[in-house]
Amino acid sequence: MQFLWPQNLWWMLLLPLLPLLYLWLLRRRGKPAIVMSSLRVARAAAGPTWRRHVPPALVLLALALLLLALARPTAPVALPWAKTTVMLAMDISRSMRVNDVEPTRMVAAQEAAKAFLNEVPRHIDVGLVTFAGTAQVAQQATIDRPSLVGAIDAIQMQYGTAIGNAIVVSLAELFPDHGIDLAEMTYGSRRQGRSLDERAAKSAVAPKQITPVAPGSYDAAAIILLSDGRRTTGIDTQQAAKMAADRGVKIHVIGLGTPDGHLAMGEGMAIYLKLDEPALREVAEVTGGEYHHAATAEALRSVYQDLGSRVQTRKRDTELTALLSGAAALVLVLGAGLSLLWFGRVT
């Protein structure tokens, strides 16, 4: 347990004085002498002597809880990963037609993505970003699993592989108030053809200057990137990974295929399609995520299932002030209730 205001713990030193004060008051309190015909009658009228000490003891306990709450304690607590968004970024480049993962990398990726949706808890939003020569949001983050499945089934492969673009678009979805604009990053002042409405919308969300945080420290979102890892166009992959790392977003990367994967395309020309593991590993390492090599459809499916089980709960440093204050209030109510029950008044 840690404390946000540890200096307030000094107040706990007052607690030992309270029992001493209570004992002093008991000895100081005078009792009028009355005549009883029998000691047994007096004892029966007074009831068990220990009862009169219970309400003060509960008050002391409540004060101890309140003083502890005053120091604002925190502790790691396993909580549901509520309001969490997982962005699936799927490579739809033509290199995904390679059949070193049967029946093809693309089909295996689609089936594994559907299996992942079955594993992820229903309260977690999942979005889909597809990328080839550019990247686009195929399905905004939602708990509507059938819509996600429909978007996955509707994938059409295209030319090019812009991994960095996929990361940037995913971040723009996760942080809509950060003013992340892929087109502006790509073309800058050279961007042409924007209407007045587009320019007005652009100015409405200016790029936000952020203070970098520890990589992987942002628990409310994650990106799962699936690709064969050979960037051919778009934003530099490591630049995009740095943007995610600065925001604390983990990127779990799945490298699909084998190093010697190849496919005959065009007019019988053999195109060598090698899995670029070093680039993918670096993305995962920079962001605090994990890299998995899934060379087979079954291995890919197990990777998604493993990721799905990990995002169900997270340990977070949770402030316990409200919990301790509530417990103190309950203890005080209990003490007052017992006092009324036993003595007919609050002592």
DSSP letters along 261-312, please? -EEEETTTEEEE----HHHHHHHHHHHT--EEEE-SHHHHHHHHHHHHHHTS
- Fold classification of 82-187+195-311 (topology level): Rossmann fold (3.40.50)
Half-sphere CA count of 344, side-chain side, radius 13 A: 2
pTM: 0.62
Nearest CA to 240 out of 228, 255, 223 is that of 223
Domain boundaries, the chain: 1-12+53-78+317-347, 82-187+195-311
Secondary structure of residue 38 in the 3-state scheme: coil
Percent of the chain topping pLDDT 90: 29
State yes or no: pLDDT of 205 exceeds 60: no
Segment 114-156, tens digit of pLDDT: 988 888 888 788 999 999 999 999 999 999 999 999 999 999 9
State yes or no: pLDDT of 270 exceeds 50: no
Lowest mean pLDDT across 144-153, 161-170, 223-232: 223-232
**pLDDT grade, residue 172 (50/70/90)?**
very high
Residue ranges of alpha helices (H) inside 47-195 are: 54-70, 105-119, 145-153, 163-174, 182-187
Q: How many whole angstroms separate alpha carbon 70 and alpha carbon 107?
A: 57
Nearest CA to 273 out of 90, 103, 105, 88 is that of 105
Is 262 within 8 Å of 271 (Cβ atoms)?
A: yes
